[in-house]
Amino acid sequence: MWLKLKKNPWFRLAIGAAIAFFCVSAVLTLHRYYSFYASYDQGIFNQVFWNGSHGRFFQSSLSSALSTNVVHQGELPTVYYHRLGQHFTPALLLWLPLYALFPSPVTLTVLQVTLVTAAGLVLYVLARHYVNEAIAAFITVSFYGANAVLGPTWGNFHDICQIPLYTFTLLLAMEKRWWWLFWLMAVVLLMVREDAGIGLFGVGVYMVLSRRFPRRGLAVCALSFGYILILTNLIMPLFSEDISERFMIERFGQYAEGDEASTLEIIWGILSNPLRLIGELFTPLGRTIAYLLGQWLPLAFVPAASGAAWSIAGFPLLKLLIAQGQSVLSINIRYALTVVPGLFYGAILWWSVRPQLFEKTAVRQFWTFCIALSVLITISANPNRTLSFLVPDSIDPWVKVSLSRQWEHARAIYPLLDRVPEDASVSATTYIVPHLSSRREILRFPKLELVTDEGTAERMEYVLVDLWRLNTYQVAFKHDRARLEVMVPKIENLVASGEYGLLELRDGVVFLERGASSNPEALQAWETYRGELRVESSQHRPLMLHQRDTERFDAARSRYSAISASGEEG
């Protein structure tokens, strides 16, 4: 391999791109985690892996808090909730031994970067089956420079990060006629997620339409389609009703009647109303066009002219286009990765019959420009706030947190994390959750109560609330403002009632313990900080506490000060 690197500049380019992608992505995502910019999903997956390493497979109190029983029916989250009712992801078990050796959210972060980097290397080998080393290298560099690859990789860990590697391996096995590996990858792909079969179905359609492997293609289509139907209608409902009462309605409720729907009912709703389907495909028109251009850009728009790209990527793309919600057409979110394999395979086939075009300098320059533009657009978009130290989160009003300020705030939080025992229950705000998620009982604040393994409802022992972050971003983001308006009175009530003691306030991070006596100095610091929180509500009024709450808090502060002065313990 060393000799090949020395003799082949194009191979060096591909390997160099892989190394650069891995190093940059690892540094950015690790910085994102350690500076408290990793968010809720990172905590969910870490808790799933942590529970799995203790024999409690796919259980998560954090996922339970998002379940239909909690969101729609008002029940308490449970520690024994099985996440397989929301997303069927048994392929994660492949990485459980690695996590058991290195049990940390950081392991998942590095794993994601590694899987995506490996996918690019397999892509190079796949491309070499059809095109020369120069084109293969350009395709590989395009992969590492694609917005749809960079954005999702620079975010929280997610199950979809496995799909490019498995799909490229499956396509390579198909080209090499390694059918044992092909079918193995087909099964593993189905295990990634309940909707991963949509991309596999596209591969089967290509195998049929290209007339290369029609019988095997039909088998792939039958396997993937049948698996999706059986899984979503028979198996996942055994764990919970989330698939029909929450996810189908949230994404495809426009095709259903009532408050719940199965995948069969959604499919029938789509087929029986073609006009609505056409409308969903092209609206919002501007965002749809921008999304397609963003997906095609790093490959110099070649996939738009590739029939193979449309046949394979068309089905996961169709799923996104006909769904509702802002996130489905966000190229920086994990769903964008499901479209990538088909586009790149289609580009390989397109170049395989037009290799002479690559000899033109103008073509290579245009392709290089497209890759560079894709990277630049990704950076300017600040995907998942990974580049907040470099790129402003908002221009008007101006919101930008410098690198030094990020780490100053992080240094204020870590001593508070050390005060939470490893086996204690805790409620924390979104960006603190990942750091505390290696435990059985954890919720996102302001939720405070869950059902334990013993079947009893219990309040969390510790509470960590990062108000600094919400206060910093609330001037530009209404959801942060809304959370701040809820959390400040909540903290006031918890402390004023005496149920929780305010032990410390560091850089806007509140640390509470159930049943403890408040620290008078922390109470005084809170009183000062509370006065500095000036939040405009939805009625354009400053965030104010009810007079009764203020009086209760002041009385509690006076009582705790008297106890401290007398030397008594609470």
d(CA 301, CA 555): 67
171 in the same domain as 110: yes
Average pLDDT over residues 148-174: 97
138 in the same domain as 214: yes
The pLDDT score that the predictor gives to residue 273 is: 83
Average pLDDT over residues 375-388: 96
Q: What domain range is 553 assigned to?
A: 403-566
Hey, what are 357's tokens?
């075009």
pLDDT tens digits, 439-496: 999 999 999 999 999 999 999 999 999 999 999 999 999 999 999 999 999 999 999 9
DSSP bridge pairs for 536: 542
411 in the same domain as 362: no
Question: CB within 8 A of 37, min separation 6: which ones?
Answer: 384, 385, 386, 388, 406, 431
Q: How confident is the model at residue 564 (pLDDT cuts 50, 70, 90)?
A: very low
pLDDT tens digits, 253-266: 788 887 788 888 88
Residues above pLDDT 90, as percent of the chain: 81
pLDDT tens digits, 429-443: 999 999 999 999 999
Residue keyed to tokens 């990858």: 185
Question: CB within 8 A of 110, min separation 6: which ones?
Answer: 26, 30
Report if residue 430 sits inside a domain.
Answer: yes
Report if residue 10 sits inside a domain.
Answer: yes
Residues above pLDDT 70, as percent of the chain: 92
The pLDDT score that the predictor gives to residue 341 is: 98
455 in the same domain as 364: no
Q: How confident is the model at residue 568 (pLDDT cuts 50, 70, 90)?
A: very low
Report if residue 68 sits inside a domain.
Answer: no
462-466 vs 509-514, strand pairing mode: antiparallel
Q: Is the pLDDT of residue 554 over 50?
A: no
Q: How confident is the model at residue 2 (pLDDT cuts 50, 70, 90)?
A: low
The pLDDT score that the predictor gives to residue 269 is: 84
Given 385, 415, 447, the domain boundary residue is 385
User: How wide is the angle at C-alpha 361 spanned by C-alphas 356 and 364, nearest 5°?
Assistant: 80
Hey, what are 428's tokens?
């924390």
Q: How confident is the model at residue 4 (pLDDT cuts 50, 70, 90)?
A: low
Report if residue 531 sits inside a domain.
Answer: yes
Mean pLDDT of the chain: 91
Taken in order 378, 284, 72, 491, the sign of the CA dihedral is positive
419 in the same domain as 526: yes
pLDDT tens digits, 80-131: 999 999 999 999 999 999 999 999 999 999 999 999 999 999 999 999 999 9
Q: Is the pLDDT of residue 224 over 80?
A: yes
Phi-psi bin for 296: left (phi > 0), alpha (psi -120 to 50), beta? Answer: alpha
DSSP bridge pairs for 400: none
Q: Is the pLDDT of residue 328 over 50?
A: yes
Given 335, 356, 385, the domain boundary residue is 385
d(CA 517, CA 267): 57
Q: Is the pLDDT of residue 395 over 60?
A: yes
- Give the H/E segment covering residue 462: strand 462-466
Q: How confident is the model at residue 297 (pLDDT cuts 50, 70, 90)?
A: very high
352 in the same domain as 205: yes
The pLDDT score that the predictor gives to residue 534 is: 62
- In 3D space, the residue among 212, 200, 126, 113 whose CA is nearest the CA of residue 169 turns out to be 126
361 in the same domain as 456: no
Given 385, 415, 443, the domain boundary residue is 385
Backbone angles phi, psi at 564, to 5 degrees: -65, -40
Average pLDDT over residues 55-72: 95
426 in the same domain as 347: no
Report if residue 313 sits inside a domain.
Answer: yes
Q: CA distances (Å), 472 to each of 97, 236, 398, 531, in order? A: 40, 40, 10, 15
d(CA 537, CA 511): 25
Report if residue 53 sits inside a domain.
Answer: no
412 in the same domain as 374: no
- Give the H/E segment covering residue 329: none
328 in the same domain as 415: no
Taken in order 319, 320, 324, 328, the sign of the CA dihedral is positive
| Across 98-112, 304-318, 531-545, least confident range | 531-545
More confident: 284 or 351: 351
Average pLDDT over residues 6-35: 95
The total number of structural domains that make up the chain: 2
Report if residue 468 sits inside a domain.
Answer: yes
Q: Both ends of the chain: CA-CA distance in Å?
A: 68
481 in the same domain as 351: no
Q: Is the pLDDT of residue 565 over 80?
A: no
Q: Is the pLDDT of residue 387 over 60?
A: yes
The pLDDT score that the predictor gives to residue 538 is: 39
Q: Is the pLDDT of residue 186 over 90?
A: yes
Report if residue 189 sits inside a domain.
Answer: yes
209 in the same domain as 313: yes
Question: CB within 8 A of 441, min separation 6: which ones?
Answer: 61, 79, 424, 425, 426, 450, 452, 458, 460
HSE-up of 523 (CA within 13 Å, CB side)? 24
Q: How confident is the model at residue 545 (pLDDT cuts 50, 70, 90)?
A: very low
